[in-house]
């Protein structure tokens, strides 16, 4: 008898490149592990503010480091991630409020589309190639009209607050519910530790089942 | 023909728990990978200052997070790491200046002892919640590592000499030049390129870089195979190869 799947919550923001990396790895493993992956669109800017933290890119040496780190991890993890030319403008000025409200609306009305639409948004911000996620123009239009409604605003706020309650000071945050214990793991680089906690097999960021499809 | 081993520099400070985790993993892999691991005792406080960074523990939510993270990683990586009771006092008040000067002296005079003495200092501060700032504490660590009291005393007397101070300063500056804003920092010298990796959680990426770059002495055909990395084994970390890279 298969035991009940364990619930993992992934709090993420498409503004966050490491969120994309963590997201792709968990999407690959949700087919391989006995887990129920719940995607939680959140607002990283609000988490930073609430925790008193700052985007790492504001420290010059970290900004320099991040560019290489993201590039190398993208190669290793096989995600086509690239720093946008005007990185500071993207992160600090433009932000992601509309995008994350949009994903919140998707999650409320068409949750099965959430993974694909999230990926599409990351592709736009964090990759040169943009593909279509397969949502009809009507659907997209309808959702765009809803992003400033109280329902959607509150849902995004509640989700973001939930991340803060778990102790988040940034994103991505993976919350694993195991055997009555809750573990909050920060970063895209805690997936091997997650496997250890789940008692599942870690096969690297590109597990074989994915290769078989290529 | 065995290619030349690739050089890895590990910049670390015994005050840094993540440095200990990275250190233990690399010490295990130095026997399994074709690498030359050079340990570089450094001062994390100076790196923080030079880069304008702050110890993460100064942010309350990070301090909270770190405690669990270190505990869980210690279990997974099998290192007996435990937070000292008065963590802030250890990190922010006592520091590690004498300890890192001592390790610098060890590295200058008895480099083969560096790994063991470093480990004993970590065991004191990050496993048994013992002091590492007083001379007798440092001596105890050195003796536990297998140094004679004479040897250890001799080195202790040298820690305030210009030679040792300058060496620690130079090593720390080298880390800063590589772009460090914290520790541990692993610098891999591969195929004419230098990669600086921050944290104890970039070892799988390091394995990937080692597997997908080859020393220039490789034959062209082998090099083609190497770059087709989907054919290369993926799980270096969990199933390290016994053959040489």
**Residues A126-137 pLDDT 10s:** 986 544 555 566
Listed range (A57-61, A101-105, A116-120, B210-214) with the worst mean pLDDT: B210-214
**3-state secondary structure (DSSP) of residue B85:** coil
Give the three-state DSSP class for A133: coil
Arithmetic mean of pLDDT, A163-173: 98
Confidence of residue A141 (pLDDT cuts 50, 70, 90): confident
Closest by alpha carbon to A16, among A123, A91, A74?
Answer: A91
Find chain A residues with C-beta within 8 A of B52's C-beta.
Answer: 59-61
Which chain B positions have a beta carbon within 8 Å of A168's beta carbon?
61
Residue A62 CA to residue A113 CA, distance in Å, equals: 34
Cβ-nearest to B52 among A53, A59, A183 = A59
**Option in A65, A196, A205 nearest B181 (CB):** A65
How many angstroms separate the CA of residue B61 from the nearest CA in chain A? 6
Is any Cβ of chain B less than 8 angstroms from the Cβ of A200? no
- Rounded mean pLDDT, A114-134: 79
Q: In which region does residue A208 sit, left (phi positive, over 0), alpha (psi from -120 to 50) or beta (all else)? A: alpha
Instruction: Indicate whether A162 pLDDT > 70.
Output: yes
User: Token digits for A77?
Assistant: 């993890």
What are the chain A neighbours of B205 within 8 Å (beta carbons)? 72-73, 76
pLDDT digits (tens, 9 = 90+) for B214-240: 765 544 444 333 333 443 344 433 444
CB contact under 8 A, B234 and A206: yes
On chain A, the residues whose CB falls within 8 A of the CB of B62 are 53, 169
Question: How far away is chain A from the Cα of B78, in angstroms, using its nearest Cα?
Answer: 12
Q: Which of A167, A193, A208 sits opposite B65 (nearest CB)?
A: A167
Q: What percent of chain B has pLDDT over 70?
A: 87
Residue of A nearest to B51 (CA): A61
Contact A186 B238 (CB under 8 A): no
- Measured in angstroms, the CA of A62 and the nearest CA of chain B are apart by 7
Give the pLDDT band (50/70/90) at residue A125: confident
- Give me chain A's average pLDDT, please: 90
Q: Do A53 and B69 touch (CB under 8 A)?
A: no
pTM for the predicted model, two decimal places: 0.90
Q: What angle do CA A120, A122, A126 make, to 5 degrees?
A: 130
User: What pLDDT does residue B245 have?
Assistant: 34
Q: How far off is chain A from B7, nearest CA to CA, in Å?
A: 19
Residues 6 or more apart whose CB falls under 8 angstroms from that of A37 comprise A8, A10, A26, A27, A30
Q: Is A213 on the interface with B (CB under 8 A)?
A: no
Q: Using an 8 Å CB-CB cutoff, list chain B residues near A202.
A: 238
Nearest to B107 by CA among B38, B44, B45, B25: B38
Question: What is the predicted pLDDT for the residue at A134?
Answer: 54
Q: Is A34 on the interface with B (CB under 8 A)?
A: no
Alpha helices in chain B (DSSP H): 17-29, 44-51, 60-77, 87-88, 97-109, 114-126, 135-144, 149-156, 162-177, 203-212, 220-227
Q: Please report the pLDDT score of residue B1 as a whole number.
A: 67
């Amino acid at each position: 008898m298969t035991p009940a799947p364990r619930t993992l919550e992934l709090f993420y923001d498409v503004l966050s490149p490491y969120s994309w990396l963590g997201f792709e790895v968990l999407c690959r493993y949700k087919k391989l592990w006995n887990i129920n992956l719940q995607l939680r669109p959140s607002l990283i800017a609000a988490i930073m503010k609430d925790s008193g933290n700052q985007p790492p890119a504001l420290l010059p040496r970290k900004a320099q480091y991040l560019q290489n780190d993201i590039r190398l991890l993208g190669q290793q993890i096989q995600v086509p991630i690239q720093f946008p030319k005007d990185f500071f403008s993207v992160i600090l000025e433009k932000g992601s409020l509309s995008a994350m409200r949009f994903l919140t609306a998707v999650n409320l009305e068409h949750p099965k589309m959430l993974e694909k639409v999230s990926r599409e948004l990351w592709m736009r911000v964090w990759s040169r190639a943009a593909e279509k996620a397969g949502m009809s123009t009507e659907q997209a239009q309808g959702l765009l009209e809803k992003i400033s409604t109280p329902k959607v605003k509150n849902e995004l706020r509640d989700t973001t607050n939930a991340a803060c309650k778990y102790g988040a000071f940034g994103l991505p945050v993976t919350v694993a519910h195991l055997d009555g214990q809750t573990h909050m793991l920060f970063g895209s680089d805690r997936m091997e530790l997650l496997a250890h906690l789940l008692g599942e097999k870690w096969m690297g960021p590109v597990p074989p089942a994915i290769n078989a499809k290529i």
